Chain A
Amino acid sequence: MDFDPVLLARLQFAFTIAFHIIFPSFTIGLSAYIATLHVTAWLTGRDHFLRIARFWTKIFAVSFGMGVVSGVVLSYQLGTNWSRFSSVAGNIVGPLAGYEVLSAFFLEASFLAILLFGGKRVPRWLHVLSAVLVALGTAMSAFWIISANSWMHTPTGHEMRDGVAIPIDWWTIVFNPSFPYRLAHMLNASYLTAGFVVLAVSCRYLLNGDHVEESKTMLRMAVGLLVVLAPLQIWLGDEHGLNTLEHQPIKIAAMEAHWDGSKPGDFHIIAWPDEKAEKNLFELSIPHGASLILTHDWNGLFKGLKDVPPADRPPVLTVFYAFRIMIAIGFFMPAAVLLGAFLWWRGKLFETRWYLWSMAQTWWMGFVAVIAGWVVTESGRQPWIVQGILRTADATSPVIGPVIAVTFALFIVVYGIIFSAGIYFINRLIARGMESGDAEEPAMSLGGALAAAGKSTGDRR
């Protein structure tokens, strides 16, 4: 077997970052939900909001912990796997990541401690504020890291000196052309991801007749939020796509498997792109569909893959199918919640069991859509690691293939154990359900909370 260090470094990094993104995309949304619940409970004085907040805080703690440990790995992997990238782009990407640490990571860590363990030790307002600051921290974190990532897609505000990117204008760097679109799309994706988890869990409880009052509240909140955000995501995604067409047209060509730029593009519902033959072997298409979406013109033209040499094209099959997975979920989501909103309007939301049952199965959708979306945007940028500046093949570290292969295997084993355990434990916390009775405490120690959760399960059995 031939150990290609570039391929191995990419696989290893793709693996660790794909595992990592699962947790932030959930916790960004979930922390905002928990903060909303705390503020609502504080303003209204209604305890059941607090019970819901406490329940999700336990799940948040586990997810956040896994996000932290898998994130620490990434902050060093930029050097271990991509040292030439660090040399070339470190002057730009470094400070953006640095601002993430300073403005987000410390904030999250300290105020999460107060949120989890400080309920008895701090005044109520500070406890509520801690929940808000944790949520703010996760969003700040997204702001900076998406800015750094967006710069890799649409680099601006720098100049190249001796092969190294030197910053000229930080405002232009931070707010590079694709950043606002990518940030809005990703933040909304996080809220959708967490929203669908809350939706699914509340439906599951309602079907079982558990925590009825809390579950009705959760379901109403989830449907009410998602009915706005899910359609919004289609619009944000479309805007992001048009932005990509302007700056990375070949990525769009790969997403649409559009080979010949001299003809209008069809929208392929499914197709089998053949990169060697430079055409689709099979396609089921809406004629002129892609032209209509992308140029708002029946005969509009946009670049095709054959407009650039094969060495400058991304892996078409990956990008094409990841994009289809994402948009399939992206269209299912608003349809599902609009139906929920209709049932709510008719006063039948809590009684329509087939709907509750169906929605209870949808918890994974946001996660899959987020990963698929990142595969589209990152694979779509290939063969570049920084668009037009540095190729991925030139960005690796001087580490030999077998060493990367061995550590990659270690990552697979360790992450396999840790993250399956984590998902199992989260599932178990959901199965245990909420604490019964009054929420007499604004917060709990983790140990105390879990002991209490165990006790309440014991009571019910």
Chain B
Amino acid sequence: MTVEWLLPLIWAAIIGSAVALYVILDGFDLGIGMLFPFAQDDDERDQMMASIAPFWDGNETWLVMGGVGLLVAFPLAYAIVMPALYLPVIVMLLALVFRGVAFEFREIGRNKALWNVAFAGGSTLAGFAQGVILGGLIQGIAIKDGGYAGGTFDWATPFAFVCGLGVSAGYALLGATWLTMKTEGPVAERARSHAVGLFYAVLAFMAVVSLWTPLEFPRIRERWFSLPNFLFLWPVPLLTALLAFAGWRSLRRDGDTVPFITTIGLFLLGFLGLVISSFPYLVPPSLTIWQAAGAPASQTFMLAGTVVLLPLILGYTAYVYWLFRGKIGPGEGYHH
């Protein structure tokens, strides 16, 4: 077991965790943007926004962490993925600009409607673009001589489009279950009914992707359905089904917290499934985490800081979530 073998594994785990955290945390606040058009009036929208106002900035920082982490530990992958997925990445960034500024501008501007549209549109587009990016990565990227070798629109496939819809549905579900947990009154009730429908949609998308990937990509079929792999891997879909049932039942029985927690569980299992499908490839179908790894001196230097700072970050992030705990009622914000 050499350092050159171990370091990329550790970094893959760190970046994977950062991406998973990002997807869950920014997922629910992007999802709330997607549900914005269904609110009845600006008071309800204020309430929805108040439920995420203290958190969104920290949530989005995990996206920077993911991108920069990739540059630190796997510069080659960063240098290949960004040009390959150029358009969806740029669209995602621009969409995030719109929805990010909407938090402040909605409050100050006279024209709330304009920034409602910016928030809802930006959140929806960003979520969709992230799904397309995910799809683009799963389906594989053409590489030659350590650089991207494909065209401008290689990513634009029906599969990536379906992934975009799937991630959007997932984020909307996270948003709906967050509102169920964090708000009171009509907003919470409407979120609960949305969550039920979104639950079905998310399960459907998970099923579609789970069938599509092994059918279209032999390497993924091999990973899941060859022996002895299948003997170890069958609990993943089973757990997913059990968790989905638990979440659905809790939604029906007026559970507040369980639906959000189970949705997180669904995301984590889905993420685990994708990792199983692609590992050890960071950029399928040809670049492994070891081939993409940066200099060990860089990975070590960064790891030293990460070991110290990441627990601190998790600590004060958790503190902020704890500080702003409890439900937000109609007309409430984090007022004095």
Partner-B contacts on A (CB < 8 A): 61-62, 65-66, 68-73, 75-80, 83-84, 86-87, 90-95, 97-103, 105-114, 116-122, 164, 166-168, 170, 397-400, 403, 407, 410-411, 414-415, 418, 421-422, 425, 428-429, 441, 443-448, 450
Contacts and interface: CB of A to CB of B under 8 A. Distances in A.
Interface string B66-79: 01110111011011
B72 A80 contact: no
A98 B323 contact: no
Contacts of B152: 399-400, 403
Contacts of B107: 446-447, 450
Contacts of B63: 72
Interface string B270-311: 000000000000000000000000110110011001100110
Contacts of A79: 67, 71, 78-79, 81-83, 89
A97 B96 CA distance: 20
A61 B65 CA distance: 22
Contacts of B65: 101-102, 105-106
A165 B53 CA distance: 41
B222 interface: no
Nearest to B107: A450
B60 A94 contact: no
Nearest to B69: A98
Interface in B26-71: 46, 50, 53-55, 57-58, 60-61, 63-65, 67-69, 71
Contacts of B67: 75-76, 79
A411 B95 CA distance: 11
B87 interface: yes
Contacts of A414: 94, 97-98
Contacts of B309: 102-103
B334 interface: yes
29 contacts: A65-B57, A68-B60, A71-B64, A72-B63, A77-B93, A79-B82, A90-B72, A90-B298, A98-B72, A101-B68, A106-B65, A111-B316, A113-B54, A113-B57, A118-B324, A120-B335, A121-B323, A121-B324, A167-B297, A398-B148, A399-B83, A414-B97, A414-B98, A415-B97, A422-B101, A445-B334, A445-B336, A446-B53, A447-B333
Interface in B316-336: 316-317, 319-320, 323-324, 333-336
B205 interface: no
Contact of B301 (A70, A93, A167): A167
A91 B298 CA distance: 6
Given A79-B81, A113-B324, A428-B108, A166 B297 contact: yes
B104 interface: yes
Given A79-B89, A445-B333, 8 more contacts: A78-B71, A94-B75, A109-B60, A113-B58, A113-B324, A399-B152, A445-B336, A448-B336
A196 B334 CA distance: 32
Ordered nearest first, which 3 A-B pairs have the shortest CB separation? Answer: A79-B82, A90-B75, A94-B72
B230 interface: no
Contacts of A167: 295, 297-298, 301
Given A99-B302, A106-B313, A403-B152, A450 B108 contact: yes
Nearest to A80: B82
Given A69-B101, A91-B75, A397 B83 contact: yes
A441 B313 CA distance: 28
B96 A69 contact: yes
Contacts of B186: none
DSSP majority for the B interface? helix
Given A80-B83, A399-B83, A414-B97, A110 B317 contact: yes
Contacts of A446: 53, 103-104, 107, 333
Contacts of A72: 60, 63-64, 93, 96-97, 100
B13 interface: no
A66 B100 CA distance: 8
A318 B198 CA distance: 55
A72 B64 CA distance: 6
Contacts of A65: 57, 100-101, 103-104
Given A94-B298, A101-B68, A170-B301, A61 B104 contact: yes
A94 B71 contact: yes
B25 to A, nearest CB: 11
Q: Which among B46, B53, B58, B75 has the greatest number of chain A C-beta atoms within 10 A?
A: B75
Nearest to A444: B336
B336 A119 contact: yes
A12 to B, nearest CB: 9
B86 interface: yes
A76 B67 CA distance: 6
A425 B93 contact: no
B100 A105 contact: no
A409 to B, nearest CB: 11
Given A72-B63, A109-B57, A116-B54, A448 B83 contact: no
A72 B87 CA distance: 16
A425 B305 contact: no
B197 interface: no
A399 B335 CA distance: 48
A83 B324 contact: no
Contact of B86 (A80, A92, A443): A80
A95 B305 CA distance: 10
A23 B108 CA distance: 18
Q: Which among A86, A99, A112 has the greatest number of chain B C-beta atoms within 10 A?
A: A86
A91 B103 CA distance: 36
Contacts of A117: 53-54, 324, 334
B105 interface: yes
Nearest to A98: B72
B267 to A, nearest CB: 21
Contacts of A444: 335-336
Nearest to B90: A407
B298 A447 contact: no
